[in-house]
């Protein structure tokens, strides 16, 4: 049995993060809501990339190349996510149909959107920590293990969300 109040609560939580976010319940709101979440996440990625422009320093000069390599890799991965948000595969597809979407499907879409927002916030905190003091090699590796986990979670949530948007079996 589906619980529409769960989807509504999730949608309301997202609307606290994103001005004008209206959810996907009404077919006329779907395209605008989708655009708002994608733009919000793109803005967050831009801010994250900007925060990586001032490279953190290592305690030992010989560790700086490894740090730069990890930063470059992180920038590429965030850039790839940014491009996925800019040009989703489902635009022009059947997602924005007039059909009612199942509450379970809505709930899961909202959960994935919320997860992406929260993982972006964790990334921001990790980047602040990177710049807070000179880093030793073990600390660098530890920070970027966390960074990689957050990016992987964002990527997975984005993939799962898109799969839900495209999957006809969830239609009611």
The residues, any chain, with a CB within 8 Å of residue 4's CB and separated by 6 or more, are 103
Question: What is the structure's pLDDT at 80?
Answer: 97
What is the overall mean pLDDT for the chain? 86
Question: What is the structure's pLDDT at 5?
Answer: 61
Angle at 79 between CA 73 and CA 85, to 5 degrees: 145
Max mean pLDDT range (8-22, 43-57, 73-87) = 73-87
* Three-state DSSP class for residue 135: strand
* Alpha-carbon distance values, 104 to 24, 71, 114, 172 (Å): 12, 38, 15, 10
Mean pLDDT, to the nearest integer, of 3-8? 60
The residues, any chain, with a CB within 8 Å of residue 48's CB and separated by 6 or more, are 78, 120, 123, 124, 127
Q: Which residue, among 152, 147, 149, has the nearest Cα to 123 in the 3D structure?
A: 147
Residue 120 pLDDT > 50: yes
What is the pTM (predicted TM-score) of this model? 0.87
Domain that holds residue 38: 4-170
* Alpha-carbon distance values, 84 to 41, 79, 102, 171 (Å): 11, 9, 25, 24
**Per the structure, how many domains does the chain have?**
1
How do residues 57-94 score in pLDDT, each as one tens digit?
888 999 999 999 999 999 999 999 999 999 987 776 65
Residue 54 pLDDT > 90: no
Question: What is the structure's pLDDT at 172?
Answer: 41
Mean pLDDT, to the nearest integer, of 35-53? 95
The total number of residues written for the chain in this structure: 172
Bridge partners (DSSP) listed for residue 90: none
Question: What is the structure's pLDDT at 38?
Answer: 95
**What are the two backbone dihedrals, phi and then psi, of residue 135, each rounded to the nearest 5 degrees?**
-105, 140
Question: What is the structure's pLDDT at 133?
Answer: 85
Question: What is the structure's pLDDT at 97?
Answer: 57
**pLDDT band for position 170 (cuts 50, 70, 90):** very low
Bridge partners (DSSP) listed for residue 171: 101
């Amino acid at each position: 049995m589906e619980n529409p109040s769960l989807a509504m609560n999730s949608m309301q939580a997202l609307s606290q993060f994103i001005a004008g976010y209206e959810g996907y319940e009404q077919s006329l709101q779907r395209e605008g809501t989708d655009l708002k979440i994608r733009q919000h996440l793109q803005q967050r990625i831009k801010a994250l990339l900007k925060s990586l422009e001032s490279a953190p320093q290592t305690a030992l000069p010989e560790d700086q190349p490894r740090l730069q390599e990890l930063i470059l890799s992180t920038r590429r991965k965030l850039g790839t996510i940014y491009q996925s948000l800019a040009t989703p595969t489902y635009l022009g597809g059947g997602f924005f149909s007039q059909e009612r979407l199942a509450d379970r499907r809505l709930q899961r879409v909202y959960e994935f959107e919320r997860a992406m927002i929260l993982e972006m916030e964790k990334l921001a905190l990790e980047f602040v920590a990177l710049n807070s003091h000179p880093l030793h090699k073990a600390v660098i590796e530890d920070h970027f293990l966390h960074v990689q986990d957050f990016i992987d979670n964002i990527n997975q949530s984005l993939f799962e969300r898109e799969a839900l948007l495209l999957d006809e079996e969830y239609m009611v």
